[in-house]
Structure 1
Amino acid sequence: MSSGRKKGSKSQVQKGRQEGPGGSNVSKKETSSVDGHEKEDAGADTKASSAFDSLNSGLLWRALLVAFLAFAYLKPEVLLDVYDMWVGFSEHNNVAHGSSRREELVWLPPDEMKRDAVVQAFKHAWGAYERDAMGSDEYHPISREGTDLAGGGGIGYTVIDAIDTMHIMGLSEEYSRARGWIANNLDFERKGLFSTFETTIRVLGGLLSIHHLSGNDPIYLEKAIDIADRLMYAFEDSPYHLPLPYVDLVDRKGYHTKDYTGLVSVAEVGTLQLELKYLTHLTGNRDYWEAAEKVMKTLNSAKLPHGLASIFLNYEEGQYVTSAVSLGSRGDSFYEYLLKQYIQTNRTEPVYQDSYKETMDGAHQYLIQKSPGNNLVYTSELRPEDNGSGEISWRLTPKQDHLVCFLGGSLLLGATNARSQVDRVSRPPKQEELTEDGWRDWNTGMELIKTCMKTHDTATGLSPEIVYFRVPSDGMDTYEFAPTDWYIRGAQPGIPAPYDARYMLRPETVESLFIAYRLTGDEIFREHGWKIFQAIEKHCKVESGGYATVINVDENPAQLEDKMETFFLSETLKYLYLLFSDSNTIPLDRYVFNTEAHPFPIIQA
Structure 2
Amino acid sequence: MVSSAWLLTLLSFSSQAYGLQARGPTYEAHPDRAAAVKEAFDRAWAGYYQYAFPNDSLKPISKSFQNDRNGWGASAIDAISTAIVMEDAVVIGQIVDYIPTINFDKPSNSEDTISLFETTIRYLAGLLSAHDLLSNAPSGSYGINSTQLDAILDQAIHLADNLKVGFDTPSGVPINDLLFQPPRTTNSTTNGLATIGTLVLEWTRLSDKTGKSEYAELSQKAESYLLNPKPASGEPWPGLLGTNVDVSNGNFVDSSGGWNGGDDSYYEYLIKMYLYDTSRFAAYKDSWVEAADSSIKYLASHPSTRPDMTFLAAYDGRDQLSYRSGHLACFDGGNFILGGLTLDKPEYVQFGIELAYSCHETYTATVTGIGPEGFAWQDGNASNATSNPAAPAEQAEFYKEAGFWITSSYYILRPEVIESWYYAYRATGDSKYQDWAWTAFQNINATCSVGAGFSEITDVNAPKGGSFTDFQDSFWFAEVLKYLYMIQAEEAPWQVSATHDNQYVFNTEAHPMKVAGTPI
TM-score (norm. length: structure 1): 0.75
Write the deviation string for residues 167-226 of structure 1: whole angstroms up to 9, x where unpaired. 111111121112111123554433332110000000000000001111171111010001
Write the deviation string for residues 56-98 of structure 1: whole angstroms up to 9, x where unpaired. xxxxxxxxxxxxxxxxxxxxxxxxxxxxxxxxx8555412453
Write the deviation string for residues 137-194 of structure 1: whole angstroms up to 9, x where unpaired. 12211111112236xx611111111111111111111211121111235544333321
3-state DSSP of counterpart to 1:560: coil
Distance 1:107 1:482 in 2: 38
Whether 1:448 and 2:365 are equivalent positions in the alignment is: no
Amino acid paired to 1:404: A
Amino acid paired to 1:172: A
Amino acid paired to 1:169: M
3-state DSSP of counterpart to 2:325: strand
Q: Name the CA shift for 1:109/1:476 in 2 (closer, same or farther; >3 Å).
A: closer
Distance 1:134 1:521 in 2: 38
What's the offset of the Cα at 1:439? Answer: 3.0
2:435 equivalent in structure 1: 527
Distance 1:96 1:512 in 2: 17
Q: RMSD of aligned C-alpha atoms?
A: 2.2
Of 111-120 and 408-417, deviating more is 408-417
- Report matched runs for 1:229-248 at 5 Å: 229-236=161-168, 238-248=169-179
- Report matched runs for 1:325-404 at 5 Å: 325-346=257-278, 348-375=280-307, 376-383=309-316, 394-404=319-329
Whether 1:572 and 2:480 are equivalent positions in the alignment is: yes
1:10 equivalent in structure 2: none
- Report matched runs for 1:112-511 at 5 Å: 112-149=31-68, 154-190=71-107, 191=110, 192-215=112-135, 217-236=149-168, 238-256=169-187, 261-302=188-229, 304=235, 306=237, 307-346=239-278, 348-375=280-307, 376-383=309-316, 394-418=319-343, 420=344, 438-456=345-363, 457-471=365-379, 473=384, 474-476=389-391, 481=397, 483-484=399-400, 485-489=402-406, 500-511=408-419
Contact 2:116–2:166 (CA under 8 A) maintained in structure 1: yes
Contact 1:464–1:488 (CA under 8 A) maintained in structure 2: no
Contact 2:372–2:406 (CA under 8 A) maintained in structure 1: no
Q: Which runs of 5+ in 1 are unaligned?
A: 1-88, 385-392, 421-437, 491-499
Contact 1:547–1:564 (CA under 8 A) maintained in structure 2: yes
Q: Identity of paired residues, percent?
A: 29
Distance 2:444 2:406 in 1: 23
The equivalent position to 1:590 in structure 2, one of 503, 506, 513, is 503
Whether 1:560 and 2:485 are equivalent positions in the alignment is: no
2:139 equivalent in structure 1: none
Q: Name the CA shift for 1:463/1:204 in 2 (closer, same or farther; >3 Å).
A: same
Distance 2:378 2:259 in 1: 19
Distance 2:177 2:328 in 1: 22
Amino acid paired to 1:398: Y
Distance 1:573 1:351 in 2: 33
Q: Name the CA shift for 1:201/1:475 in 2 (closer, same or farther; >3 Å).
A: closer
3-state DSSP of counterpart to 1:276: helix
Distance 1:183 1:409 in 2: 35
Amino acid paired to 2:316: R
Amino acid paired to 1:246: D
Write the deviation string for residues 317-376 of structure 1: whole angstroms up to 9, x where unpaired. 311112521211100000000111111114542111111111111111221111222211
Distance 1:482 1:144 in 2: 37
What's the offset of the Cα at 1:489? Answer: 4.7
Q: Name the CA shift for 1:477/1:575 in 2 (closer, same or farther; >3 Å).
A: closer
Write the deviation string for residues 547-572 of structure 1: whole angstroms up to 9, x where unpaired. 01110000012211111111010000
Contact 2:305–2:403 (CA under 8 A) maintained in structure 1: no
3-state DSSP of counterpart to 1:279: helix
Write the deviation string for residues 287-345 of structure 1: whole angstroms up to 9, x where unpaired. 00101110121112325251211111122231111252121110000000011111111
3-state DSSP of counterpart to 2:195: helix
Q: Which runs of 5+ in 2 are unaligned?
A: 136-145, 497-501
- Report matched runs for 1:76-91 at 5 Å: none
Whether 1:548 and 2:455 are equivalent positions in the alignment is: yes
Write the deviation string for residues 272-296 of structure 1: whole angstroms up to 9, x where unpaired. 0010001001111100010111012
Contact 1:400–1:467 (CA under 8 A) maintained in structure 2: yes
Contact 1:95–1:522 (CA under 8 A) maintained in structure 2: no
What's the offset of the Cα at 1:104? Answer: 4.6
Q: Name the CA shift for 1:144/1:93 in 2 (closer, same or farther; >3 Å).
A: farther
Q: Name the CA shift for 1:185/1:316 in 2 (closer, same or farther; >3 Å).
A: closer
Distance 1:187 1:198 in 2: 14
Q: Name the CA shift for 1:476/1:202 in 2 (closer, same or farther; >3 Å).
A: closer
What's the offset of the Cα at 1:584? Answer: 2.4
Write the deviation string for residues 394-437 of structure 1: whole angstroms up to 9, x where unpaired. 3211111211111111111111213x2xxxxxxxxxxxxxxxxx
Distance 1:222 1:93 in 2: 51
Amino acid paired to 2:368: T
Amino acid paired to 1:447: E
Distance 1:249 1:97 in 2: 55
3-state DSSP of counterpart to 1:119: helix
TM-score (norm. length: structure 2): 0.87
3-state DSSP of counterpart to 2:315: strand
1:14 equivalent in structure 2: none
- Report matched runs for 1:28-43 at 5 Å: none
Distance 1:185 1:489 in 2: 41
Q: Name the CA shift for 1:363/1:350 in 2 (closer, same or farther; >3 Å).
A: same
Contact 1:467–1:486 (CA under 8 A) maintained in structure 2: no
Contact 1:137–1:157 (CA under 8 A) maintained in structure 2: yes
Amino acid paired to 2:506: F
Distance 2:82 2:256 in 1: 35
Distance 1:208 1:477 in 2: 47
Distance 1:380 1:187 in 2: 39
Contact 2:331–2:419 (CA under 8 A) maintained in structure 1: yes
2:27 equivalent in structure 1: 108
What's the offset of the Cα at 1:126? Answer: 0.7
3-state DSSP of counterpart to 2:305: coil
3-state DSSP of counterpart to 1:481: helix
Distance 1:109 1:584 in 2: 13
